[in-house]
Amino acid sequence: MNIVISGGTSGIGKEVALCLARQKQNHLLVTGRNKGALEELSAGAGNNNILTHQIDLEEFENYERSFLKFVAAHFLSIDILINNAGLLIVNDFMKSSSAEARKMIETNFIGPAALIRTLKPMMQKGSHVINISSMGGYQGSSKYTGLSYYSASKAALSNLSECLAEEFHESGIIVNCLALGSVGTGMLEKAFPGYKAPVTAAEMAEFISWFAVNGGKFFNGKVLPVAFNNP
């Protein structure tokens, strides 16, 4: 399978890439901001099946053409796209600047949407788009001080997933969204210092990897909470 993963330099994204790369038949293209971390990830793949490409989703319009050219040079089609990249700036709403808000919205919503739009022509019937959202953006879930813009941007990504499942229905492309609860990552530590999550990044990656390959057989246009605890 040909798989594209955004935000794969650390945390859940990195673990998902390593998990899917265990299968020799999978060929991965992983993106992220940190060139060194991408090179380390590629070197650590035992099956030599991880390609990497440095992009910043906050400024994806500057990378769009060159990125598509790179993808097309290696893949004839894309079976799975995992939109995992995310940015969190913890700050009370009244203290947050418009610049901080824009950075999160660009990275968490506009960038992933642009990535889908760019890669859709390479997808075919049965291709699966998985957007990684958060319980903070899940309707009716508990909300927390300092996470308003982050949660709102993730809520937008969740809603987009539902909309695109309808828009892509005729082409047979499947779109789902996983709203993750607390997972042991640097981002969680930043949001909730000292809090110990019940699930590790590696454990969550096992589920996301399974869902990426198999979830399209059972779900389409769904925003699924994946949370033992919230946060």
Tell me how far CA of residue 34 lies from CA of 41, 57, 119, 134, in angstroms: 11, 12, 22, 23
Q: Distance of CA 98 to CAs 67, 89, 93, 94, Å?
A: 28, 12, 10, 11
Q: In the structure encoding, which two tokens stand for residue 144, read together?
A: 């927390």
Rounded to an integer, what distance in angstroms lies between the CA atom of residue 223 and that of residue 163? 11
Residues of the chain with pLDDT under 50: none
| Cis geometry, peptide bond prior to residue 231 (ω within 30 degrees of 0) | yes
pLDDT in tens, 164-216: 999 999 999 999 999 999 999 999 999 999 999 999 999 999 999 999 999 99
The candidate with the shortest Cα–Cα distance to 3, out of 216, 213, 157, is: 213
- In angstroms, rounded to a whole number, what is the distance separating the alpha carbons of residues 196 and 185? 10
φ, ψ of residue 162 to 5 degrees: the values are -65, -40
pTM of the model: 0.96
pLDDT for the residue numbered 79: 98
Tell me what pLDDT residue 207 has. 98
8-state DSSP, 184: B
